[in-house]
């Protein structure tokens, strides 16, 4: 492996920056790092911070060097990190000096790719690393952490092992059909049904996993002037949307996200839905309707001070959606009995509304089951289910064991794509392309 180098902290000014090298970095480090402790021989102890001078052909900086010896490093190779003052030109100069001394610039995600190739982590664990970095709610970090620490890959291996046992049983049947068929085949059938159940639980966790990662889309809808924009601002905790008593103020939709009990909520404030001759407002209404279509949850806002008017356009758009109805402006007038009453103005009732949204988020939560967080993982599980299904039907139809074996091998391989055992180069490329340089 050649030696790669990259800035591992974000590009920009900061307290410090970290330049990381992996491969055979000691030769490069020896040229540019000067420390009293390493004066006589450049044999740094692993995992130890050395203070010293980092010198390039252009300038010097004072900082630290740490050496991680293979295989006890992030990539599984020898790794050296320089902790420098966090200036863009400093990092640029030191990276340039590393390149002049034989390193090459790392590609996106190349450190983690090497970790995967060197067996330090499985592919789904590596996906957990990207998810960690991209997570923007506590729940997303928690789910990424589980993925990164191998909870999913472990669960996948467990299922693969059960499939392997089934395969062994079926091979024995092939060898000794007379003795084993009657006993083994019903056992295999029952085990495959159990495996399929387990896989289905996995698959159903995918929806929740995606929502934890990306957030839940919630739309505020209703007639004009009921206080949708005011509610948006109250929920976000700052003035995001324009509020006014002029009807039809919000024409385009406004979106923003906030964190609720560790969960990310993507909130959209929409134009009040009504028939209008104004071309711009009309377009706003069309957009609101398309937001409604995509939203997971709708908050339909009524004005407690006004008698609700029939709104066929809105009713039609809301058919088959999950809707929470609320009455706003309850500081002015009492809401109907049993209704959720809020006031965007005073904040009364907002906690009740927030809890409702939070509970709705957790409606599809699958406790204890590992959460799939990417389309890629989900499609692999779905393929494994399909193949297990095929194997079960084949057994029921009395199809010879060798055919069942080949179908189950496909199920095993589909699961192997999650962990990276059976994955193609293209999929690996796609995953690591999502990383930033330096990770
Ligand atoms: N008293 C009172 N007025 C409110 C409340 N929420 C909104 N308003 C007022 O109602 C008018 C319309 O609010 P806005 O948020 O723009 O409504 P939208 O058209 O549904 O987005 C504004 O004058 C707001 O100040 C509330 O809870 N109490
Ligand atoms: Mg508005």
Give the ligand whose atoms come closest to the C-alpha of residue 300.
1
Q: Looking at residue 61, what is its pLDDT?
A: 98
User: What's the CA-to-centroid distance between 298 and ligand 1, angstroms?
Assistant: 18
The upper half-sphere exposure of residue 179, i.e. CA atoms within 13 Å in the direction of its Cβ, equals 6
Instruction: State the Rg of the chain over Cα.
Output: 29
Count helices and strands (H / E) in the chain: 14, 13
CA of 347 to the centre of ligand 2 (A): 17
Contact 344, 233 (CB under 8 A): yes
CB atoms within 10 A of CB 285: 22
Which of 243, 253, 348, 353, when mutated, tests ligand 1's pocket best, judged by the most ligand atoms within 8 Å of its CB?
Answer: 243
Residue 291 backbone phi and psi in degrees, to 5: -65, -40
pLDDT above 70 (res 130): yes
Categorize the per-residue pLDDT at 250 as very low, low, confident or very high, splitting at 50, 70 and 90. Answer: confident
Span from the CA of 328 to the centroid of ligand 1 (angstroms) = 8
Which tens digit of pLDDT belongs to each residue from 204-243? 888 889 999 999 999 999 998 999 999 999 999 998 988 8
Of the listed ligands, the closest to the CA of 350 is: 1
CATH tag for 125-211+374-433 (out of 3.30.830.10, 3.90.550.60, 2.60.120.10, 1.20.120.430): 1.20.120.430
Return the pLDDT at 1: 84
User: What is the rounded CA–CA span in Å between residue 66 and residue 84?
Assistant: 12
Segment 404-419 shows an average pLDDT of 95
Q: Given the CA of residue 224, which atom of ligand 1 is nearest to it?
A: 19
Nearest CA to ligand 1 atom 12: 225
- Measured between alpha carbons, how far is 300 from 317 in angstroms, rounded to an integer? 12
Using the predicted structure, report yes or no on whether residue 368 has a pLDDT greater than 80.
no
Condensed to tens digits (0 to 9), the pLDDT of residues 284-294 reads 888 889 999 99
Report pLDDT for 244.
Answer: 85
Helices (H), 215-298: 228-236, 279-294
Which CATH number applies to 4-106?
Answer: 3.30.1360.120
Residue 417 and residue 419: Cα distance in Å, rounded?
6
Pick the closest to residue 111 from 124, 121, 100 (CA basis). 121
Close Cβ partners of 316 (under 8 Å, ≥ 6 residues apart): none
Taking a 5 Å cut-off on Cβ, the residues next to ion ligand 2 are 228-229, 250
User: Given the structure tokens 């990381």, which residue do they identify?
Assistant: 20
How confident is the model over 88-99, as pLDDT tens digits?
999 999 999 999
From residue 188, how far is each of 158, 181, 200, 387 by CA, in Å? Answer: 16, 10, 18, 15
**Does the domain made of 219-364 have the CATH classification 3.20.20.70?**
no
Q: Quick check: helix, strand or coil at residue 325? A: strand
List pocket residues of ligand 1, CB cut-off 6 Å: 224-230, 243-245, 249-250, 272, 328-329, 331-332, 343-345
Residue 335 has pLDDT above 90, yes or no: no
User: Cis omega before residue 239 (within 30°)?
Assistant: no
Tell whether the torsion through CA atoms of 350, 352, 358 and 363 is positive or negative: negative
Q: How far is the CA of 232 from the centre of ligand 2 (A)?
A: 9
**Residue 399's Cα: distance from chain center in Å?**
41
| Residues 329 and 308: beta-carbon distance below 8 Å | no
Q: What is the pLDDT of residues 61-85, one digit of tens each?
A: 999 999 999 999 999 999 999 999 9
Return the bridge partners of 268, or none: 219, 255
pLDDT at 15: 96
- Would you list the domain boundaries of the chain? 4-106, 125-211+374-433, 219-364
226, 230, 340: which to mutate for ligand 1, most atoms within 8 A of CB?
230
DSSP reduced 3-state for 33: strand
Q: Which ligand is nearest to the CA of 223?
A: 1
Q: What per-residue confidence (pLDDT) applies to 179? A: 83
> Where is pLDDT greater, at 426 or 391?
391
Stretch among 6-10, 119-123, 434-438 having the lowest mean pLDDT: 434-438
Instruction: Identify the pLDDT of residue 322.
Output: 97
Closest ligand 1 atom number to CA of residue 328: 27
């Amino acid at each position: 492996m050649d030696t790669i180098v990259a800035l591992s902290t974000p590009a920009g000014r900061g307290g410090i920056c970290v330049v990381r090298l992996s491969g055979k970095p000691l030769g490069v480090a020896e040229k540019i790092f000067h420390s009293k402790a390493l004066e006589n021989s450049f044999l740094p102890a692993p995992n130890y911070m050395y203070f010293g001078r980092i010198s390039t052909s252009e300038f010097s900086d004072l900082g630290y060097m740490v050496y991680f010896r293979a295989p006890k490093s992030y990539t599984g190779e020898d790794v050296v990190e320089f902790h420098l003052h966090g200036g863009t030109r400093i990092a640029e100069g030191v990276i340039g000096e590393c390149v002049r001394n034989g390193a090459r610039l790392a590609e996106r995600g190349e450190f983690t790719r090497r970790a995967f190739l060197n067996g330090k982590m499985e592919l789904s664990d590596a996906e957990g690393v990207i998810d960690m970095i991209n997570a923007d709610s506590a729940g997303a970090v928690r789910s990424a952490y589980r993925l990164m620490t191998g909870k999913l890959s472990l669960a996948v291996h467990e299922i693969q092992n059960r499939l392997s046992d089934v395969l062994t049983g079926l091979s024995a049947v092939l060898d000794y059909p007379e003795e084993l068929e009657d006993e083994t085949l019903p056992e295999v059938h029952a085990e495959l049904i159990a495996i399929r159940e387990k896989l289905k639980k996995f698959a159903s966790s995918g929806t929740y996993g995606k929502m934890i990662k990306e957030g839940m889309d919630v739309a505020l809808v209703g007639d004009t002037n009921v206080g949708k924009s005011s509610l948006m601002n109250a929920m976000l905790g700052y003035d995001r949307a324009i509020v006014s008593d002029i009807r039809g103020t919000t024409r385009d939709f406004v979106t923003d996200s906030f964190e609720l009990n560790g969960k990310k909520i993507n909130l959209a404030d929409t134009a009040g839905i009504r028939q209008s001759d104004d071309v711009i407002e009309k377009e706003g209404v069309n957009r609101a309707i398309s937001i409604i279509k995509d939203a997971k949850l709708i908050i339909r806002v009524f004005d407690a001070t006004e008698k609700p008017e029939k709104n066929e356009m809105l009713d039609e758009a809301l058919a088959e959606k999950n809707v929470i109805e609320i009455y706003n402006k309850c500081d002015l007038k009492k809401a109907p009995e049993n209704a959720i009453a809020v006031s965007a103005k005073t904040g009364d009732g907002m906690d009740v509304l927030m809890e409702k949204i939070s509970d709705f988020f957790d409606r599809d939560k699958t406790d204890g089951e590992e959460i799939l967080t990417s389309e890629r993982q989900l499609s692999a599980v779905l393929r494994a289910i399909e193949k297990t299904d095929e194997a079960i039907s084949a057994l029921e139809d009395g199809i010879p064991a060798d055919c069942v074996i080949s179908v189950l091998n496909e199920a095993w391989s589909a699961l192997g794509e999650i962990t990276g055992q059976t994955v193609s180069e293209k999929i690996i490329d796609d995953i690591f392309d999502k990383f930033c340089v330096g990770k």
